[in-house]
Amino acid sequence: MPDQAVTVRPHDLAVPIRPGLPGPARTGGLGARCSRALLSPWSRLALLVTLLAAAASSAVVWEPQRLLSGGAVLWTGPAALALFALAYGLCTLAFVPKPLLNVAAGALFGTQAGLPLAVAGTTLGAFLAFGLGRALGRDALRPMLRGKVAAALDRQLSRHGFRSVLLMRLLPGVPFAAANYGAALSSTRCAPFLLATAVGVVPNTAAYVLAGSRADTPGSPVFWISLGAIAVTSVLTAAAGWRAHVRHRRARTA
């Protein structure tokens, strides 16, 4: 009697893996789970918080604003302009106050070079914060935008990115870092965000740069005009903050 052909199917050769026993499939699953955990939105948000905390701590310890305002001798040569703009942008990530950086730009380079450098450094810092916020914090924080105010701001930034960012840069009382990370959480595109930032920061930045450039002649009219502009901006900032506080208190009691 002839031998009958036996057909062997691939799944007949598979060896079942019981739960609890080691095996290649289970090892691969553990590695995949670890990768997903490390790249999860909350892990990336924790990395962002760690980076910002480390930058702020470094600014407190090393005080980079002293280096920026330590004298023109440190900032001579063809690479001084690019180096200052880069240092300015990194200092904004470390939450160094922008007025100090703007005054340093005016004191070291004067108004003609100091103002473009300050605007370039501000735009660079905004770009770095926007990129970090979108890459590391957006996926974790965006689902939390469920409140009416947060949702309205998100819609405004998403639909009218350039106009909204420009208003945030022009109006006093809006913190620089808050505007950067708020835009990163929205659907605002990077190019309109950067363009609105570069245009919107010019008036306020010019006042501080001008004051820094005339710091050696405090009796000059230009110096007093710049101080007047700074004072007006400070008053408007305080008024905007008080108005926001009153609105928030009324909303809570309503």
Alpha-carbon gap, residue 130 to 160, rounded angstroms: 17
The DSSP call for residue 214 is T
The answer to whether residue 84 is domain-embedded is yes
Mean of pLDDT values over 186-214 = 90
Q: Which has the higher per-residue pLDDT, 162 or 16?
A: 162
The answer to whether residue 17 is domain-embedded is no
The answer to whether residue 2 is domain-embedded is no
Report CA torsion sign: 36, 40, 42, 44.
positive
The answer to whether residue 27 is domain-embedded is no
Alpha-carbon gap, residue 245 to 254, rounded angstroms: 14
Tokens of 211: 């004051």
> For 62-90, how does the pLDDT look when each residue is reduced to its tens digit (9 = 90+)?
666 565 555 444 556 667 888 899 999 99
Contact predicate 65/107, CB 8 Å = no
Q: Find tokens 């470094």 and name the residue.
A: 58
The answer to whether residue 195 is domain-embedded is yes
The answer to whether residue 159 is domain-embedded is yes
The answer to whether residue 30 is domain-embedded is no
The answer to whether residue 4 is domain-embedded is no
Taking the model in full, what pTM does it have?
Answer: 0.69
Domain housing 179? 39-253
Residue 27 banded pLDDT, cuts 50, 70, 90: very low
Q: Number of structural domains, the chain?
A: 1
